[in-house]
A and B are shown apart, each in its own frame.
Chain A
Amino acid sequence: MLNKVLSLSILTFLEGVRDRAIFGIGLFALAMMSVTLVVLGFFMRELDKVAVDINLSAISLAGLLVTFFLSINLMAKDIDKRTIYCVMSKPFSRAQYVWGKYIGILFIISTAFAVLTFCSSLTIVIAKMQYTNWFKAFSWIEYFKAVYASFLMFVVLNAFIIFFSSITSSSFLTLLFSICTYIAGQTIEEVVIYLKSANGQEAQLSEFIQKMIDILQYILPNLSVFDLKVQASHAIHLPLDYLLAITGYAAIYSGILMIAASLMFSRRELP
C-alpha cells in the first residue's frame, strides 16, 4: 500500500516539476532576493532585519504561488479535466490517490523550500559580507526556525487544497476556498486579539457575531502561529517547545483534513 502511495507521489512530483510555472515562480523569488542587496543601502541601522524580512517574505510568497497555481492544478484540475480516470483505471484506491497527491505536493513544496532557502542564505551571506557591522545581531538558527515554521504552514494549507479538491469538481472553487482559508487563517488571531482588547470592547459587536467569531477561531486554522518572520528578523530566541507545539498543530490539523478528504473522496461520485 505504501509503495502505491509513494509511486503516485513521485508521479505527482514529476508532473509538478515539469510545469513551467515553477521556473517562473523560482525566478521571481530569486529576483526578489537579489533586490535585498540594493534595498539595504537605503536603511539606517537594522540592515539584518530588512534582509531577513525580504528573504523570508520571498520564500513565503513563492510558496503561496506554488500552492495556488501548481498544487491546485495537480489534483483539482485532474478532476476538472477528467484526467483522473486514467489514474483511477490503475489498481489504486481513492484514498491512496488522495494521499499520493498530497505527499507528492509536499515533495514539490519541500524542494522549492530547499532551493529558495539555499538562495536566500547565499543572499544573506553576501549582504553580511557587504555590511558586516550591521549584521551583529543576526542569528542563522532563528532564521532557519522561521523557514521551518513557514514550511509547516504550507503543510496545512496544502492539506486544505486536497480537502477542497476532494469535495468540489471545480478547480476555480478550490482556488477560491483555499485563498479564503489562507486569508482567514492569517487574520483570525488578530481579529480575536482586537475584540478582546479595550478598543474591541468599545466596538460593541452583536452577540451573534461574537459567538460566530468564537466558533470560527476553533474551526479555522490559526496560520499566524507559523509566522515567525518578525522574531527571526530581530533574532529573538524561540524555545524549542514552541517549534514542537506548532509541528504537532500542523500534523494534527493536516491529519484531520487528509482523513476527511480520503473518506469523502472515496464516497464521492466523480463527474
Chain B
Amino acid sequence: MILKKLIPFFCLGLLIVFCPIYQTGLEEKRMAILKDSGMGYIIPSEFSAPASLEFKGIISDFLYLKMSTYLGGKIIKREMMDMSHADFFYDAADIITTLDPFFWDAYLMSSMVLSWDFQRLDLANKLLKKAMENRTWDYKPPYYLGFNYHYFLKDNANASRYLMEAAERGGGPSFILPLATRLSVYQSQLAPAILLLEEQLKTTRDPFMIKHLHTRLKAIIILDKLEKKVKEYKDRHGSLPEKLSDLKSDQLIEDLPEDPYGGEFYILPNGRVFTTSKLRFFNPDK
C-alpha cells in the first residue's frame, strides 16, 4: 500500500533528475542545428514594417540585440566570417533602420563592421547616407561618412564635403572643422582614425565592442608610430628601410611590436606600414 503511494513520488524524482541530463543533450543538438543554419533568414522590410504594427520600436531593439549578439559571439570565438555575412549585416541593419529610421546604434555598428571588417564601403556608406537623411540634426552620420571617404576610399574631396556638413550641423568635437579644411593637404591618414576610434570608445558601453575597438586602436597606434619612425629613418639615410628590423638596428625602436590581430607588420613601397592581418580577425576574401 505504502509502496503504491510512493510510486508517483519515485517517478517524479526520477524525471527531475533525468530532465537536466536530457536537456544538456538536447542543447548540444540544438547548438549543432543553429551552427549549421548559419545566420538565419531576413524578412524584407516591405513585410516586416507593416507586420510590426505599432511595435516597430521594440521590434527594432530586438533585431538589433540579435544582430549584436551574433557579432559578439563571432568576435569572442574568433570565428571566420565570409562575404555572405556582410550582406546579412547590411540587410539586417536596413530592416532595423526601416522600422526605426533614427536608430543610430544600428547604423553605427553595422557600418563599422562593414567598413573595417569586410571592406564593403559601398554598403557601409549606403547605410550612413540613410542615417544622414533621417537624423538631420546629428553630426555623426556625415562625420563617419567623411572618415570612410578619407581613410578607406582616399577620396579627400568627398571626405571634406561630408566633414564640412558635420561641422555645420554642430554638436560634434571641435576638431571636425579644422580637419575638413586641412584634409586635402593632410599627410597622415592614421591620425583621423585614432581620433575616431578614441571618440567611439568614449561613447561605447558594450564590452564586446569595447574589446574590439581597443584592439583596433592599439594596432593603429602601432602603425602610426612605425610610420613616423620609417619617416625618421628616411630623413636620416635618404632612403626607406628595406625591412622593419632596420629600424631596430638603427635604434629607432627597441623591439618590433606585435600585431594584436596576429599578423606581421611590413613596409609598403611608398613608405607606409601595414600588416599581413589586414587589421581583422575575419577573412572577407573567402
B65 & A45 in contact (Cβ 8 Å cutoff):
no
> Which of the 9-residue segments A5-13, A46-54, A89-97 touches chain B?
A46-54
Q: How far is the CA of A191 from the CA of B51 in the complex (A)?
A: 11
- For A28-48 the 0/1 string (1 means CB < 8 A from B) is 000000000001001111110
B57 & A46 in contact (Cβ 8 Å cutoff):
no
B50 & A229 in contact (Cβ 8 Å cutoff):
no
Which chain A residue lies CB-closest to B53?
A186
> Which of the 9-residue segments B11-19, B101-109, B227-235, B276-284 touches chain A?
B101-109
Interface residue? A187 (CB, 8 A): yes
- Chain A residues lying within 8 Å of B61, measured Cβ to Cβ, are 43, 49-50, 53-54
A44 & B209 in contact (Cβ 8 Å cutoff):
yes
B58 & A57 in contact (Cβ 8 Å cutoff):
yes
Interface residue? B55 (CB, 8 A): yes
- Chain B residues lying within 8 Å of A134, measured Cβ to Cβ, are 205
Q: How far is the CA of A190 from the CA of B64 in the complex (A)?
A: 22
Q: How far is the CA of A81 from the CA of B250 in the complex (A)?
A: 97
* Additional A-B contacts beyond A43-B206, A54-B58, A57-B58 (19; CB < 8 A): A42-B68, A43-B65, A43-B205, A44-B209, A46-B104, A49-B57, A50-B61, A52-B57, A53-B60, A54-B61, A57-B57, A60-B54, A60-B55, A61-B55, A183-B53, A190-B50, A223-B54, A230-B100, A233-B100
Interface residue? B27 (CB, 8 A): no
Interface residue? A258 (CB, 8 A): no
- Chain B residues lying within 8 Å of A45, measured Cβ to Cβ, are 104-105, 108, 203-205
Question: Can you name 29 A-B pairs with beta carbons within 8 Å?
Answer: A42-B65, A43-B105, A43-B206, A44-B109, A44-B206, A45-B104, A46-B104, A49-B57, A49-B100, A52-B57, A53-B60, A54-B58, A54-B61, A56-B57, A57-B55, A57-B58, A186-B50, A186-B53, A186-B54, A187-B51, A190-B49, A191-B50, A194-B46, A224-B54, A227-B54, A229-B54, A229-B57, A230-B101, A233-B100
A230 & B55 in contact (Cβ 8 Å cutoff):
no
Within 8 A of B (CB), among A109-159: 134, 150, 153
Interface residue? B272 (CB, 8 A): no
Number of residue pairs spanning A and B whose beta carbons lie under 8 angstroms apart: 80
Name the one of B50, B58, B206, B209 contacting A53, with C-beta atoms under 8 angstroms. Answer: B58
Which chain A residue lies CB-closest to B210?
A44
Closest 6 CB pairs of A and B: A53-B57, A187-B50, A57-B58, A186-B53, A234-B102, A44-B206
* Chain A interface bracket (under 10, 10 to 19, 20 to 34, 35 or more): 35 or more
Which chain A residue lies CB-closest to B55?
A57
- For B173-189 the 0/1 string (1 means CB < 8 A from A) is 00000000000000000
A233 & B53 in contact (Cβ 8 Å cutoff):
no
A230 & B56 in contact (Cβ 8 Å cutoff):
yes
Q: How far is the CA of A45 from the CA of B209 in the complex (A)?
A: 11
Identify the interface centre among B57, B61, B102: most chain A CB within 10 Å of its CB.
B57
Interface residue? A236 (CB, 8 A): yes
Interface residue? A201 (CB, 8 A): no
- Chain A residues lying within 8 Å of B60, measured Cβ to Cβ, are 53
B205 & A44 in contact (Cβ 8 Å cutoff):
yes
Within 8 A of A (CB), among B33-89: 46, 49-51, 53-58, 60-61, 64-65, 68-69
Interface residue? A199 (CB, 8 A): yes
- Chain A residues lying within 8 Å of B46, measured Cβ to Cβ, are 194, 199
- Chain B residues lying within 8 Å of A42, measured Cβ to Cβ, are 65, 68-69, 206
- Chain B residues lying within 8 Å of A46, measured Cβ to Cβ, are 103-105
A230 & B105 in contact (Cβ 8 Å cutoff):
no
- Chain A residues lying within 8 Å of B101, measured Cβ to Cβ, are 230
- Chain B residues lying within 8 Å of A186, measured Cβ to Cβ, are 50, 53-54
> Least Cβ distance of A217 to chain B in Å?
14
Q: How far is the CA of A52 from the CA of B57 in the complex (A)?
A: 9
Q: How far is the CA of A77 from the CA of B285 in the complex (A)?
A: 65
- Chain B residues lying within 8 Å of A49, measured Cβ to Cβ, are 57, 61, 100, 103
B206 & A233 in contact (Cβ 8 Å cutoff):
no
> Least Cβ distance of B99 to chain A in Å?
8
Which chain B residue lies CB-closest to A189?
B50
- For A51-81 the 0/1 string (1 means CB < 8 A from B) is 0111011001100000000000000000000
